[in-house]
Amino acid sequence: MDLEVAAGESLALAGANGSGKTTLLRVAATLLRPTRGGGEVCGHDLVADADGARAHVGLLAHRSGLYEDLSPYQNLAFASRMLGLGAERRAIDAVLQRVALAAAAHERVRALSSGMRRRLALGRLLLAPPRLLLLDEPFASFDAGGLDLLESVVRETTAAGGSVLVATHDLARAGRVVDRTVWLERGRVVRPPADRRAVADVPRLVGR
């Protein structure tokens, strides 16, 4: 695979289940070490300088990565401290407002709906916007407001010179925000299939 995402570019990764989309995102996020080959994020080697790469990456994964016994505010305060931003109340409140969770700021995350959790997970990335934003099936579980927010975050990231990599089956939705689509099959970049809809709709058909 030879793939480059330019600054200011957003790219969708398409392909059937098991084609390597999530694996590619996890390698780019330094959560998986590549068995062969390598890559760079903002000039930082993913293996030799994984920590340098990590400083520029933000990942919205399948699972929210939140602490269920803590509140949205406490989750964001923890993330803020880990990012070296302190736990500045105004910044956290601003993010909570942006993801429409100000009213639930002190509820337990356990009590939130899946759409609210997704918005909170996205809000964590807004504390310090990454230069490479990795989104793994981002259109699942978001409510309507969350999807609009997600799209605006993608546009803001690329407008600020960042890059976005979206692994998705929902190409119709992704098409609204990405510049181009790359198709994967068994870990390789392939030409787009003749019937794109058939591949893109597999999970939805299975889910019915």
Partner 1 sequence: MSRRRAGEITRILAVARKDVLVEARSRANFAAVVAFSALVLVLFGFALGPDEAALTQAAAGVLWITVIFSSVLAFQRAYLLELEDGALDALLLYAGDRRSIFFGKVLGGLAFVFAVEIVVVPMAGVLYGLPVLSALGRLLPLLALGTVGIVALGTFYAGMASRVRAREVLLPLLLFPMLAPLVIAAVKGTHVALVGDPIAAGVNWVGLLAGFDAIFLAAAYLLFGAVVED
Residues that bind partner 1 (CB under 8 A): 26, 29-33, 51-52, 54-59, 61-70, 74, 78-79, 81-85, 108, 117, 124, 128-131, 160-162
First-to-last CA distance in the chain? 33
CB 181, min distance to partner 1, A: 25
- Minimum CB separation of residue 185 from partner 1 in Å reads 24
Please identify, using beta-carbon distances, which residue of 14 and 57 lies nearer to partner 1: 57
Min CB(42)–partner 1 separation in Å:
8
Query: What is the spatial distance between Cα 164 and Cα 86, in angstroms, rounded to a whole number?
Result: 26
CB of 75 to partner 1, least distance (A): 9
Give the residues across from 13 on adjacent strands: 167, 182
How many CB atoms sit inside 10 A of residue 90's CB? 7
Q: Please say which residue, 15 or 162, places its beta carbon nearer to partner 1.
A: 162
Here the tokens at position 89 are: 């109340």
Provide CB contacts within 8 A for 18, sequence distance 6+.
Answer: 186
Q: Which helix (H) or strand (E) holds 206?
A: helix 202-207
The residue length of the chain stands at 208
Would you put residue 137 in left (φ > 0), alpha (ψ -120 to 50) or beta? left
Which is nearer to partner 1, 19 or 64 (by Cβ)?
A: 64
Nearer to partner 1, 130 or 138 (CB): 130
> At closest approach, how far in Å is the CB of 180 from partner 1?
22
Q: Toward partner 1, which CB reaches closer, 79 or 199?
A: 79
Instruction: List residues bridging with 188 in a β-sheet.
Output: 185
